[in-house]
Amino acid sequence: MTYRNALFGMGNPLLDISAVVDKDFLDKYGLKPNDQILAEEKHKALFDEIVQKSKVEYHAGGSTQNSVKIAQWMIQEPHKVATFFGCIGTDHFGEILKQKAAEACVDAHYYEQSQEPTGTCAACITGDNRSLVANLAAANCYNKEKHLDVDRNWSLVEKARVYYIAGFFLTVSPESILKVAKHASDNNKIFGLNLSAPFISQFFKEPLMKVMPYVDIIFGNETEAATFAKEQGFETEDIAEIARRVQSLPKVNKNRQRIVVFTQGREDTVATVGDKVKMFPVLDIDQNHIVDTNGAGDAFVGGFLSELVQEKPLEECIRAGHYAANVIIRRVGCTFPEKPDFQ
């Protein structure tokens, strides 16, 4: 069994606006079919255009928030095992995010401000690809002094035993990440981080490498792993070798050997188990059953965390991750049925 607030997540709470688009739409805004980027000036019109699409859907999103929601869904009882911090606006989209977090039984404590509207993420879907364009807006306004450092909030951080933050948050508040990561390290708790997107390893290398010595579990997909390796000058494209190299990067808490977990879509998941690198096959799925791969990575982490917080072995964590991802890709957005069927 686990307890309330045992799992802590912090990140960018976004409302996902997803629609099926065509190649012309991608080309118009200079998007790759499968990518994650931050919105620039040239993407402003994209948000107006995508909501006019015939089958537009709105879902509560944001990478870390998705993962802690899935973890909570996998755990079911007690409610509020997962805590989430992030920044929203005082607006309709913000209210939707609050309502969706409550429905998912996540203990969300948002920092609310009125300078910026609640962040959104356009998920432009073509076939089984998805191109994500995030307009952080309010999410970018998270304030360590005004939220994380406040006693009633920090006490929730202290209650947790597992921490998870997506790399995306490195663009917002690296000082908040470091405070949480150091707390975990000093107290021999578990801190997990996701490489999240190639641009994080490329353009936010300094904050990423500042937090790396405190990272007990690093997650990423094959593209992110390759980009990280290239940026760090590893001079190898072999994913198992990259995992080994990432595992041996400097680490503050010597009581825990770093665990590296790289997913590769339908290919085997690669993970370091002690001093070895092992491959874990994903669950088979008929291509025709894949509705939307957006959220698959977040779901994998959510499943993984649900077992980790219950102190299950690594193999079980990965099996739960594969199960959750397999469920989520059959549905639109990072959504899930009422109850999991995981034994």
Cα–Cα dist 301/298, whole Å? 5
Cα–Cα dist 42/55, whole Å? 23
Whole-number CA gyration radius for the chain? 19
Which region, left, alpha or beta, applies to residue 32 given φ > 0 means left and ψ of -120 to 50 means alpha?
beta
Instruction: Mark 146-180 as b/e (b = at least 16 C-beta within 10 Å).
Output: ebbeeeeeeebbeebbbbbbbbbbbbbbbebbebb
Asked if 27 is an active-site residue, the reply is no
Cα–Cα dist 202/49, whole Å? 30
Contacts of 339 by beta carbon, 8 Å cutoff, 6+ apart:
76
Active site residue: 35, 238, 298, 341, which one? 298
Cα–Cα dist 164/102, whole Å? 19
Q: Are 82 and 71 in contact (CB under 8 A)?
A: yes
Which region, left, alpha or beta, applies to residue 197 given φ > 0 means left and ψ of -120 to 50 means alpha?
beta
Peptide bond into 13 cis (omega under 30): no
First-to-last alpha carbon distance for the chain, in angstroms, is 15
Which tokens belong to 202? 């490329």
Helix (H) or strand (E) holding 85: strand 82-89
Beta carbons within 10 angstroms of residue 122's beta carbon: 25
Sheet containing strand 162-166, edge to edge, reads 107-113, 82-89, 7-10, 162-166, 190-194, 217-221, 259-264, 267-273, 276-280
Residue 314: name the closest of 182, 168, 190, 185 by CA.
190
Residues forming the active site = 298
